[in-house]
């Protein structure tokens, strides 16, 4: 859907973790994402909605100490997809979202799941991408919901812009 200058895309990252429901819905979502992003990138659509913002539940990057399944896992399945290599000598991934979002020029990805606040410099393939900082001021207020974690990996990644307060 579109709001002002933004094209908003919401997807389910949960489909990557609950495969006991089958692959069909995940494949349908992936195909839908491709079609939606192709449409959003048509010149007339980019002119009217220059920002593409994606919203999902689980993050592709994080540094919390309490969630090794996502935060310490180099090949997070939402980010890279599923390793379908028959012999694991040459890694081949299927349905990863980071390369798809990068290919179609997604400007911002918002994710949850981790009970902490983190934001990153522009990053692709675990490497910081130099870019222009447009707004470096953030206000955070959270007094609702589940408890928050404040502990982050001390050896955080170069692309992480966490400041402990």
Q: DSSP labels for 13-77? A: GGGGT-GGG-SHHHHHHHHHHHHHHHHHTSHHHHHH--EEEEE-SS-S---BTT-HHHHS-TT-H
pLDDT recorded at residue 22: 85
Based on the number of CB atoms within 10 Å of its own CB, is 132 exposed (0-12), middle (13-18) or buried (19 or more)?
exposed
pLDDT recorded at residue 158: 53
Question: What CA–CA distances, in Å, run from 5 to 1, 47, 52, 77?
Answer: 11, 9, 9, 30
Per-residue pLDDT of the chain (165 residues; tens, 9 = 90+): 999 999 999 999 889 888 888 899 999 999 999 999 999 999 999 999 999 999 998 888 776 666 555 565 666 888 888 878 777 677 778 888 999 999 999 998 888 776 665 666 676 776 666 666 555 555 455 555 445 444 445 555 555 554 443
């Amino acid at each position: 859907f579109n709001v002002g200058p933004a094209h908003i895309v919401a997807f389910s990252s949960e489909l990557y973790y609950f495969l006991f429901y089958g692959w069909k819905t995940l494949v349908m979502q992936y195909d839908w994402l491709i079609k939606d992003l192709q449409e959003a990138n048509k010149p007339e659509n980019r002119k009217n909605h220059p920002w593409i913002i994606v919203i999902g539940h689980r993050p592709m990057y994080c540094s919390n100490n309490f969630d090794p399944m996502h935060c310490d896992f180099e090949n997070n399945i939402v980010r890279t997809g599923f390793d379908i290599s028959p012999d694991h000598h040459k890694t081949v991934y299927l349905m990863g979202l980071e390369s798809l979002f990068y290919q179609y020029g997604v400007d911002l990805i918002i994710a949850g799941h981790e009970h902490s606040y983190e934001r990153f410099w522009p990053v692709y393939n675990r490497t910081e991408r130099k870019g222009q900082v447009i707004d470096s001021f953030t206000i955070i207020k959270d007094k609702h919901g589940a408890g928050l974690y404040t502990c982050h990996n001390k050896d955080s990644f170069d692309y992480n812009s966490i400041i402990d307060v």
